[in-house]
Amino acid sequence: MNNLIQKYNIPGPRYTSYPTVPFWNKEGIALQDWKRTVKKSFDESNDAEGISLYIHLPFCESLCTFCACHKKITKRHEVEQPYIETLLKEWDLYCDLLVERPKIREIHLGGGTPTFFSSENLNKLINGIFKRADKFEVFDFSYEGHPNHTSEKQLQTLYDLGSRRNSFGIQDYDPKVQKAIHRIQSFEQVKRVNDLSRKIGYESISHDLIFGLPFQTEESIRNTIKNTIALKPDRIAYYSYAHVPWIKGVGQRGFDENDLPKDNEKRHLYELGKQLFFDNGYVEVGMDHFALPTDSLHKAMESKKLHRNFMGYTAGKTELMIGLGMSSISDSWYAFAQNEKDVDVYTEKVNNGIIPIFRGHLLTEQDLIVRKHILNLMCNLETEWNVGFDATTKAQIIERLQEIIDDGLVEVSETKITVKEEGRMFVRNVCMAFDLRLLENKPNTRVFSMTI
């Protein structure tokens, strides 16, 4: 297995979208085309499945050096109210475009630190959204919380607004690791918010852990997972640290790269964590995720309804996902669009009545076919050949996969391709064989994190 890890540990996309962002059309997408695809998707799917909302709340009181998200560091909480007002104005722009009242199936508050915002402003945000929308018959409202900055009042407010699922960024419990990544929080602080969530009535609690961080060892990972298991979250995300300082700059240059676990050492940390999760009743879901059998994410996998988008894995698919807030990415199925990354530019566009996108991609027919295959592989670890490919393209994909097939990581039949259990860790590599844009436009410089 070590030889396979060395062989396949290459830079590659995480496939939260296809095409991946670096291969979006360089000329971008015209605002009118974006609006057209949003309206088309809404008209096709609102009544049948509803829509999803991702709301980006970018503020953090301090910088975590592992973080690759778009954020704004400040302790000035007076930024909250004007930002909420801008979000609601942006939502109004979409509601005016859609005309009919949206039925919201899923809301996720990401960041940044969503619990940077006061209970009052979170209440204002969610109630403001539903002034012009209704809840779909199946409704999932989740948010990310920082254990150091999440109060009982915030937990209760968000629960009262309809949230039954939350996620806490833990990363690692080891003091040396926490100091290196500038994320210092005790087990007691995590236990406090976890226990309060259970007491209030949350049905699903997720903990996010990262392997491959500076100074992590087998002993520190064992201790982190021991503490995590003691709190029995319903879901655990166990992410590979994506070291991309050439993209994210100073934040990810806060430590020496020599302090990071290397190739086989890093993979051992993953395999160790995976086995400890299995030993405690968790089931692997897709890539990087583990869930108890009672959790909706596992149930979605079992029923082949698991979906993946810019929010990660979700238990329900919607054709339309609208992203609100600076840097948010929206998905109309037929196109992607990303909002302005600078909060001032974002605010100015919204105040001028303009949906604040600055780049995007209009999918071609070929893109849509490849997208379906990659989604199938990322969610179900298999895909059927009858989704759009002709015999020539199929043969070319199999040729690109031949080494992976020879190494016993996938099975190919006349009707489908299946990623075997021992090939799960290489699913990104399998998807790369389908990625026609990557093959046609191989980057000259380092763009992606390592696949393993």
**Domain boundary assignment for the chain:** 20-362, 365-440
Assigned token pair, 368: 């849509």
Q: Which residues contact 350 (CB under 8 A, 6 or more apart)?
A: 86, 89, 90, 93, 356
pLDDT in tens, the chain (452 residues): 667 777 777 778 889 899 999 999 989 999 999 999 999 999 999 999 999 999 999 999 888 888 878 888 899 999 999 999 999 999 999 999 999 999 999 999 999 999 999 999 999 999 999 999 999 999 999 999 999 999 999 999 999 999 999 999 999 999 999 999 999 999 999 999 999 999 999 999 999 999 999 999 999 999 999 999 999 999 999 998 876 554 444 454 456 778 888 877 888 898 899 999 999 999 999 888 999 999 999 999 999 999 998 888 999 889 999 999 999 999 999 999 999 999 999 999 999 999 999 999 999 999 999 999 999 999 999 999 988 888 899 999 999 999 999 999 999 999 999 999 889 889 999 999 999 998 887 765 555 766 66
Query: Does residue 27 contact residue 361 with C-beta atoms inside 8 Å?
Result: no
**In CATH, 20-362 is 3.80.30.20:** yes
pLDDT of amino acid 387: 80
pLDDT of amino acid 322: 98
Query: Does residue 72 sit in helix, strand or coil?
Result: strand
The vertex-248 CA angle with 66 and 235, nearest 5°, equals 40
Sheet containing strand 335-339, strands side by side: 283-285, 289-291, 235-240, 204-211, 165-171, 134-145, 103-111, 51-57, 321-324, 329-331, 335-339, 357-362
End-to-end CA distance of the chain: 12
pLDDT of amino acid 1: 63
Q: How many CA atoms lie within 13 A of 96 on its CB side?
A: 9
**Model-level pTM greater than 0.95?**
no
Query: Does residue 67 contact residue 122 with C-beta atoms inside 8 Å?
Result: no
pLDDT of amino acid 246: 40
Q: Which residues contact 240 (CB under 8 A, 6 or more apart)?
A: 210, 211, 212, 266, 270, 288, 449, 450, 452
Count of C-beta atoms within a 10 Å radius of residue 68? 16
pLDDT of amino acid 118: 97
Q: Which residues contact 331 (CB under 8 A, 6 or more apart)?
A: 17, 309, 310, 320, 321, 323
pLDDT of amino acid 248: 47
Strand 103-111 relative to strand 134-145: parallel, antiparallel, unpaired? Answer: parallel
The single-letter DSSP state of residue 450 is: B
Which CATH entry fits the domain spanning 365-440: 3.30.1780.10, 1.10.10.920, 3.40.640.10, 3.40.190.150? 1.10.10.920
pLDDT of amino acid 247: 45
pLDDT of amino acid 389: 87
pLDDT of amino acid 156: 98
* Alpha-helical runs (H) found in 327-420: 343-351, 365-380, 391-400, 402-406
Please, is 382 exposed, middle or buried when counting C-beta atoms within 10 Å of its C-beta (0-12, 13-18, 19+)?
middle
Tell me how far apart the alpha carbons of residues 74 and 81 are, in angstroms, rounded to a whole number. Answer: 14
pLDDT of amino acid 439: 86
Query: Does residue 119 contact residue 157 with C-beta atoms inside 8 Å?
Result: yes
